[in-house]
Amino acid sequence: VDANTPFSQLMDALDDVVEKPKKGECVVYWMRMADLRIHDNRALSRASDQAQKDGIPLIVLFIISPQDYIAHDRGARRIDFTLRNLALMKTSFADLHIPLQVVTHFQRKTMPYCALSFCEKHGATTLFANIEYEVDELRRDLEICKLAAPKGIQANFFHNKCVIEPGIIVTKQDKAYTVYSPYQRKWIATLNANIPYYLEECPDPVANDENVRSSKIFAQLFDTRVPDYIEGFRLDDADREKMKEVWPAGEDVAAKMLDAFLATKARTSQLGAVDPVACGAEASDKASRVLKYGSERDRADRDTTSRLSLYLSSGVISVRACVRASMVKWKTSKVDDNRNSGVGRWIQEIAWRDFYTNVLAALPRVSMGRPFLEKFADVVWEKHEDSSGNDSEALKRWKAGTTGVPVVDAAMRCMNEMGWMHNRARMIAAMFLTKDLMIDWRVGERYFMEKLIDGDLASNNGGWQWCASTGVDPCPYFRIFNPYSQSSKVDPTGEFIRHWVPELRKLAGPDLHNPPTVTAKKLGYPLPVVVHSESRDRALRRYKNPGEE
């Protein structure tokens, strides 16, 4: 894999043998935004191990970095969810006499200094963290490696996000895979050949000695608070309450959702219950969805998927725990990747998550505003804002869910309201923006990050570039979704549209998916913002001849 990437450079830096530092006063675990859990957390577990060996306390640091959140288009909902989890963990850590200190540090460039001065202030000579694969984060960790050793601090980094960490599944030429199927085949073979290594559960951290609470250096850390909000990212009260209700914080919630999703026996009275509005924890109380996952995962009008994306992208649940649970529940000795079984199909989706993270680490330009397929860099996009930076009419209507195309509007309103959207609905909404409205995929990518509570750079970028036909293993540019025929496939009962677009609730059948002009006018529903057949021709022309109108 390209030696010049920050990922490769960090891997090389970690290979350098750093002299074992002198025993310090404590060990620091630096928790990041994607590892918000206590159980099965590699860096935390190893930090605890070190603290036990040295007979010193473990302390936990979390750095809030507003400038970083701005640079990464972090949405306020995701940040609010982070704070809610930190507040819960503060209590759980305190039960183990482990203090969790949340500090705010605005400047992203000086974050390494912030972390290292925290170590110095508390006399730590070892720092532990899990790796984040975004390019700026990798550069930050490289900087830490450089700065730590001269200060007598040993920085230790661990892979924790993926089932198989980036850089392992490579082609014969030692390159990153840019096509999913061969990656996935090698992924499953590698995993099944090394199950104990990849799926091993890390021991929980051991409690500190109770005396830590009265120690001069550490006692005050227990008294600090997790802020309720971050200036510039504050949700309005109604949205916050809604997010709290639909997406509760906590490892136990995520574990319960996983358990319900993988239940081996369907609670038959509820199996197949149509609940297109159920999201998050609400949905988790329904019957085993994995049973129908293979055949019904593309249905937006059924709650057949796990809804675990938020808990996975925030690290509230371990992806290893998800795979282990699938094996235990379904009594298999190998990880199942059979497309025809519900659980096997689900594991393949987990592999997509690894795939896109691998791409992000190996080909960082995909997240730096460049299309992976450079040949499409010059595709001509429609203007999406005026000279004052206001959204164009078409973009406004897409964002608000008033395009006049029911399935697109249902999808967008669902995300605006709940912070989550079904995978197939994401594909339809993204394809509509890029091909029907011919608006730059980067505009949509940013809006999804703003509204989604599960926003994850690797998966979001991968999904958008798939739909825009510019990414690794993308949808070919000439395969443009017809939103009306897609609509009847993802929402055959019409429940999804009727719920999210109540103007149309009295309609059924083809009229619901594509309301006749007279009917739409009567119901006060907008007429389509574009004519699909015409905009399809425009997209084909522009993709075929990048640079030309």
Binding residues vs ligand FAD (CB under 6 A): 297, 305-309, 312-313, 346, 349-350, 352-353, 356, 422-423, 426-427, 430, 448, 452, 454-456, 459-460, 462-464, 467
The smaller minimum CB distance to ligand FAD, of residues 297 and 397, is found at 297
Which residue, 28 or 418, is less far from ligand FAD as judged by CB? 418
Shortest Å distance, C-beta 290 to ligand FAD: 9
Residue 293 CB, nearest approach to ligand FAD (Å): 7
Phi/psi of residue 227, each to 5°?
A: -65, 155
Name which of 83 and 425 has its Cβ closer to ligand FAD: 425
Min. distance of Cβ 458 from ligand FAD in angstroms? 8
CB of 449 to ligand FAD, least distance (A): 7
The token pair that represents 48 in the structure block: 């605890």
Closer to ligand FAD at the Cβ: 65 or 305?
305
Nearest-CB residue for ligand FAD:
463
- Cβ distance to ligand FAD smaller for residue 208 or 465: 465
The CB-of-309 to ligand FAD minimum distance in angstroms stands at 3
Please give the Cα distance from 495 to 300 (Å, whole number): 9
* Strand partners of residue 101: 61
- Smallest gap, in angstroms, from Cβ of residue 319 to ligand FAD? 8
Q: Measured from the CB of residue 118, what is the shortest distance to ligand FAD in angstroms?
A: 30
- C-beta atoms surrounding 259 within 10 Å: 13
Backbone angles phi, psi at 357, to 5 degrees: -70, -40
540/80 Cα distance (integer angstroms): 41
Which residue lies nearer to ligand FAD by CB, 102 or 350? Answer: 350
Residues whose CB falls within 8 Å of the CB of residue 59, separated by 6 or more in sequence, listed in order:
26, 27, 28, 29, 98, 99, 101, 122, 124, 218, 221
List, in sequence order, every beta strand (DSSP E) within 376-442: none
Q: Which is nearer to ligand FAD, 426 or 498 (CB)?
A: 426
Q: List Cα–Cα distances, 17 to 3, 14, 156, 159, in angstroms.
A: 19, 8, 11, 18
| Token digits of residue 453 | 């509570």
Across the beta sheet with 154-158, what order do the strands follow? 100-104, 58-64, 26-31, 124-130, 154-158
Task: Please give the Cα distance from 316 to 2 (Å, whole number).
Answer: 31
Nearer to ligand FAD, 413 or 422 (CB): 422
Using an 8 Å Cβ cutoff, are 293 and 305 in contact? yes
Q: Where are the beta strands (DSSP E) in 252-381?
A: none
Burial 373-393 (b: 16+ CB within 10 A, else e): beebeebeeeebeeeeeebbe
In the complex, minimum distance from the CB of residue 273 to ligand FAD, in angstroms, rounded to a whole number: 16
